[in-house]
Structure 1
Amino acid sequence: MSAQTVLFIAEPQSVTAIFPTLKEAGLQAGLADNLTGALGFIKKSNPCIVFCRPKLQGFDARALLEQAQTIEGFPPIVVFSATGSAEEATQFLELGARDFWLEPLVWDKIKLILPEPQPEPAPEPEPAAKPVAQAVPSSMTTPGAASKFQIIGRHPAVLRVLALAKQVAKSKATVLISGESGTGKEMFARYLHHNSDRADKAFVAINCAALPEHLLESELFGHEKGAFTGAINRKLGKFELADGGTILLDEITEMDLGLQAKLLRVLQESEFDRVGGVETVNVDVRVLATTNRDIEGTVNEGKFRQDLFYRLNVIPLKLPALKERGEDVVLLADFFVAKFSATYGLGQLAFTAEAKKWLMSYEWPGNVRELQNLMERAVLLAGAGPIQPRHFLMGDEQWTPDDLASVDADQQAASAAPPPSTPAEAMSVMPIHEMEKRLILKSLQETTGNRTRAAELLGISVRTLRNKLNEYKKQGVEV
């Protein structure tokens, strides 16, 4: 099977860091910075996917998307940017982009969207070949498109949900995925899509809790020009963008009752009207929905339509909380540590016995999402390792005198060591307070300055975060 090629249309310094990871995964990477060069590369090398900036000197993503409409077999295009609005993303999706991403470009996200490689013709089978038994891996993976990502787990409750998801993936039945925040509901939704007959079509997700009713209706169903103040052009909604594919309605219980009635019509009739429109739009979309609430209790309270609940709940998938999954906690922790060790160019880190005991005893109110964020912190704070319980914590009040003495000893040993010769070595001997500062500033960058969200990601209080930022300001750091 020949290696797939990925084309990036961007400044070299913004994308070349991902090239070694692509090479390790058996992919080739190409780079262009203008439209002519990009089209020439696509004609010659036939990349499986294109990642491009919205605009560069000598390049405009809109022009590339226009070309894509006229050339049969043109690779899918993902537009990525350091900044971007929902309106800009919608414009590119309407022009034919496969997706619109915000930076950074990371392998865990890229591998989910890569098309399946085309196998070379298989040789004629030899006669008298006997079947060979195959071992079942401990972490659950699936063949085909879904093998691009893993759902990690050995616990029977996870395996039952995964088996049911695989069984119904190829159907068009609506699926209601419930579970606490952070249990991986969207991950299972993507698993269903990538194992379905619609895997090569769009997967469109929308958070029903993020927008007020009038904006959510426009996002779902689109609007006509002049439908309301500010509607200067026709806009296609998420259902139209997902036509032929799958739509995920995240946190469905937050949807207003009036909008629930319009959604019920789509589910029953596969049609809707744009806001301000008179023409009925027909779509073929598979609907998945998630909720972190007791939806039956919400129905009893009159806050969610009973008929819509029955229509969504054709296949119910209930995900267990992380605290109920036993040794899956350590299994997942190992997975995330390996992932972040590779991301930051560090060697593979191991947990001490005390750290594993802490992982198993913690309640995990934020579930898998909290575990993932905590493992990133631990990798950064542990440096050369091993990972100890103190590396899971950050607030000053959570550090004991013994912990601080250990940190002092680590810093003294680092100062006596020869200077590092590589960035990875430099990272491994970085002082703990510098590691902490980098992690805090990185969380603010990822949340676009939202301190409440950053504190939540870090697992600390907003007050602790504010105190840290005030300390950095005194040091002359711009925050």
Structure 2
Amino acid sequence: MEIVGRSLEHQRLLAQLARVAPTMTEVLITGPTGVGKERYARYLHEQSRQHGGGFVAINCGALPPDLLENELFGHVAGAFTGAHLKSEGLIASAEAGTLFLDEVDSLALASQVKLLRFIQEREYRRLGENRMRRADVRIVAATNADLLEAVRDGRFRADLFFRLRVVPIRVPPLRERPADILPLLDSFTHHYAAAYGLPPVEYSRGALRWLEDYAWPGNARELENCVRYLTALQLGRPVEPPDIDLLDPESSHPELAPRLRLDLAFQRAKRNLIDDFERRYITEALRRNGGNISRAARASGKARRAFFELMRKHGLHGSAMR
């Protein structure tokens, strides 16, 4: 899936990755869960001289230490019980390409020692084998943890930390780059429509504004899953705010509160907060009254015409609340 975005932060990320791509230096990508660290790692690989080789990813937190070493370095037949066939290992699969180590903070200390040696020497030994093998691979690591804190706590080796962090890349959470929300939404919408063989989801103006104003604590992954849900739902009409299961107006989760946009001028930021309140209030009034505009207006203490004008302003429809 193509990596997309309009924010200044996103453009800076791509520019930084493009600058370091021609080298073989190690890169450490940090950022909270769901921001798309692997997608940025793939972009780095595609821009590099190693783009003709493989991009091989491994989740370091998904395997115990003994299996992790076997996955990385491989083994010869008979190296251990059940090893009837040889395994090349992921390092060999990534030859002349990129090895992506996700959740690198999960590596056991014993595994960290072996990884450090491999990065320094670019040599490794398969399990059950005596001879050393050389490898031409680029190492890109990623974590959502504070590795420096892990170093201070003795959970992560300082020498490995500094070896991996030659080029540090930070991917900000989606709430810090709201200009990327709609491009990502469009990309996910068309991708999953094609993947599922279904028509692409359409969104009302109110739904788009709602999605833009949401804080996305789960970042791009949460947005992607939201699109998958809406694509599978196949409403047969444009999506309205009440259709978006992630955004419950009655939720007590603080991350669902309107986001304070400090990147905007005071008056515009204030207008955004007022608009968000109006949209949420009118949506909930309609929901509680089964989409009946007259009843919702009475319950809100507003004239029906004024209530309808607010609905039109925010792209809301009573029929979607029934």
**SS of aligned partner of 1:214:** helix
**SS of aligned partner of 2:51:** coil
Counterpart of 2:41, as a letter, is: A
Q: Quick one: distance in 2 between partners of 1:258 and 1:318? A: 27
**2:173 alignment counterpart:** 321
**1:280 alignment counterpart:** 132
**2:122 alignment counterpart:** 270
The 8 Å contact of residues 52 and 96 in structure 2, kept in 1 or not, is answered as no
Q: What TM-score, normalized to structure 1?
A: 0.51
Q: Are residue 253 (structure 1) and residue 253 (structure 2) matched?
A: no
**1:132 alignment counterpart:** none
Aligned CA RMSD, in angstroms, stands at: 2.5
Q: CA deviation at 1:201?
A: 1.2
**1:383 alignment counterpart:** 235
What are the superposed Cα offsets for residues 361-393 of structure 1, whole Å, 9 maximum, x if unpaired? Answer: 322121101101101212333522211112220
What are the superposed Cα offsets for residues 137-187 of structure 1, whole Å, 9 maximum, x if unpaired? Answer: xxxxxxxxxxxxx32111111111110101111110111111111111111
> Aligned pair in 2 of structure 1 residues 369, 265: CA closer, same or farther (>3 Å)?
same
**1:471 alignment counterpart:** none
Counterpart of 1:309, as a letter, is: F
> Aligned pair in 2 of structure 1 residues 395, 172: CA closer, same or farther (>3 Å)?
closer
The 8 Å contact of residues 226 and 246 in structure 2, kept in 1 or not, is answered as no
**1:456 alignment counterpart:** none
Q: Quick one: distance in 2 between partners of 1:175 and 1:278? A: 30
Counterpart of 2:60, as a letter, is: C
The 8 Å contact of residues 198 and 245 in structure 1, kept in 2 or not, is answered as yes
**SS of aligned partner of 1:247:** strand
> Aligned pair in 2 of structure 1 residues 217, 348: CA closer, same or farther (>3 Å)?
closer
What are the superposed Cα offsets for residues 255-279 of structure 1, whole Å, 9 maximum, x if unpaired? Answer: 0011101111111111011122211
**1:52 alignment counterpart:** none
**1:204 alignment counterpart:** 56
Q: Are residue 368 (structure 1) and residue 220 (structure 2) matched?
A: yes
Q: Which has the higher contact order (CA 8 A, sep 6+)?
A: 2
Q: CA deviation at 1:313?
A: 0.7
The 8 Å contact of residues 381 and 391 in structure 1, kept in 2 or not, is answered as no
User: Map of 1:109-148 to 2, 5 A cutoff?
Assistant: none
Counterpart of 2:97, as a letter, is: G
**1:310 alignment counterpart:** 162
Q: Quick one: distance in 2 between partners of 1:202 and 1:308? A: 24
Q: Are residue 230 (structure 1) and residue 103 (structure 2) matched?
A: no
> Aligned pair in 2 of structure 1 residues 230, 151: CA closer, same or farther (>3 Å)?
same
> Aligned pair in 2 of structure 1 residues 345, 383: CA closer, same or farther (>3 Å)?
farther
Range that drifts further, 372-381 or 172-181: 372-381
Q: Are residue 159 (structure 1) and residue 17 (structure 2) matched?
A: no
Q: CA deviation at 1:395?
A: 10
Q: What is the aligned counterpart of 1:330 among 179, 182, 185?
A: 182
The 8 Å contact of residues 185 and 319 in structure 1, kept in 2 or not, is answered as yes
**SS of aligned partner of 2:52:** coil
Q: Quick one: distance in 2 between partners of 1:254 and 1:201? A: 26
Q: Quick one: distance in 2 between partners of 1:350 and 1:306? A: 50
Q: CA deviation at 1:400?
A: 6.5
> Aligned pair in 2 of structure 1 residues 237, 387: CA closer, same or farther (>3 Å)?
same
The 8 Å contact of residues 321 and 367 in structure 1, kept in 2 or not, is answered as yes
The 8 Å contact of residues 379 and 387 in structure 1, kept in 2 or not, is answered as no
Q: Quick one: distance in 1 between partners of 2:63 and 2:197? A: 38
The 8 Å contact of residues 193 and 199 in structure 1, kept in 2 or not, is answered as yes
What are the superposed Cα offsets for residues 291-320 of structure 1, whole Å, 9 maximum, x if unpaired? Answer: 111111111111111111111111111001
Q: Quick one: distance in 1 between partners of 2:106 and 2:51? A: 28
Q: CA deviation at 1:350?
A: 3.4
Range that drifts further, 397-406 or 326-335: 397-406
> Aligned pair in 2 of structure 1 residues 334, 234: CA closer, same or farther (>3 Å)?
closer
Q: Quick one: distance in 2 between partners of 1:403 and 1:342? A: 32
**1:180 alignment counterpart:** 32
**1:217 alignment counterpart:** 69
Q: Quick one: distance in 2 between partners of 1:326 and 1:394? A: 17
Q: Quick one: distance in 2 between partners of 1:395 and 1:328? A: 19
What are the superposed Cα offsets for residues 13-53 of structure 1, whole Å, 9 maximum, x if unpaired? Answer: xxxxxxxxxxxxxxxxxxxxxxxxxxxxxxxxxxxxxxxxx
**SS of aligned partner of 1:260:** helix
Counterpart of 1:269, as a letter, is: E
The 8 Å contact of residues 103 and 143 in structure 2, kept in 1 or not, is answered as yes
**1:457 alignment counterpart:** none
The 8 Å contact of residues 222 and 235 in structure 1, kept in 2 or not, is answered as yes
How many residues align? The count is 260
> Aligned pair in 2 of structure 1 residues 318, 395: CA closer, same or farther (>3 Å)?
closer
Identity between Structure 1 and Structure 2 (%): 42
The 8 Å contact of residues 200 and 231 in structure 2, kept in 1 or not, is answered as no
Q: Are residue 241 (structure 1) and residue 93 (structure 2) matched?
A: yes
> Aligned pair in 2 of structure 1 residues 390, 214: CA closer, same or farther (>3 Å)?
same
> Aligned pair in 2 of structure 1 residues 334, 244: CA closer, same or farther (>3 Å)?
closer
Q: What is the aligned counterpart of 1:357 among 209, 221, 243?
A: 209
In structure 2, runs of 5+ residues without a counterpart are 252-282, 292-319
The 8 Å contact of residues 29 and 143 in structure 2, kept in 1 or not, is answered as yes
> Aligned pair in 2 of structure 1 residues 152, 234: CA closer, same or farther (>3 Å)?
same
Considering fraction of residues, name the structure with more helix.
2
Q: Quick one: distance in 2 between partners of 1:328 and 1:199? A: 26
